[in-house]
């Protein structure tokens, strides 16, 4: 399975992510902390990021946390996306502790 470089602009962290793995889980596996972690299932919205560049596949996201307009603008939940190319992200929350 292809792996792609994911960069978190807020922290300068980078890690590799397989196309079959959600970005948030790959970040945790790589022992990085740039994206806040919550429920890991799209229910809390804590892991929301802005995709600055790159291609990804997105699973269904709760409209309570990501509106259609936000998603079109590249704001997504990192637990619900899988990379299809290198990604450059910006975490939209700054805390790094688990909140949920």
Q: What is the pLDDT of residue 100?
A: 42
Q: What is the mean pLDDT of each run of 10 residues along the chain (100 residues)?
A: 94 97 97 94 94 97 93 96 98 62
Q: Is the separation of the CB atoms in 78 and 35 below 8 Å?
A: yes
Q: What is the pLDDT of residue 70?
A: 95
Q: What is the pLDDT of residue 18?
A: 98
Q: Locate the domains of the chain by residue range.
A: 3-91
pTM for this one? 0.90
Q: What is the domain class of 3-91 according to CATH? A: alpha beta
């Amino acid at each position: 399975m292809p792996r792609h470089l994911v960069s978190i602009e807020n922290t300068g962290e980078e890690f590799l992510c397989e196309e079959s793995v959600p970005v948030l889980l790959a970040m945790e596996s790589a022992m990085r902390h740039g994206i806040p972690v919550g429920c890991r299932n799209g229910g809390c919205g804590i892991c929301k990021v802005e995709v600055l560049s790159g291609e990804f596949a997105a699973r269904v996201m709760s409209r309570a946390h990501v509106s259609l307009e936000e998603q079109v603008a590249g704001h997504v939940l990192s637990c619900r996306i899988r990379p299809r190319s290198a990604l450059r992200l910006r975490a939209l929350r700054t805390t790094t502790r688990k909140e949920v």
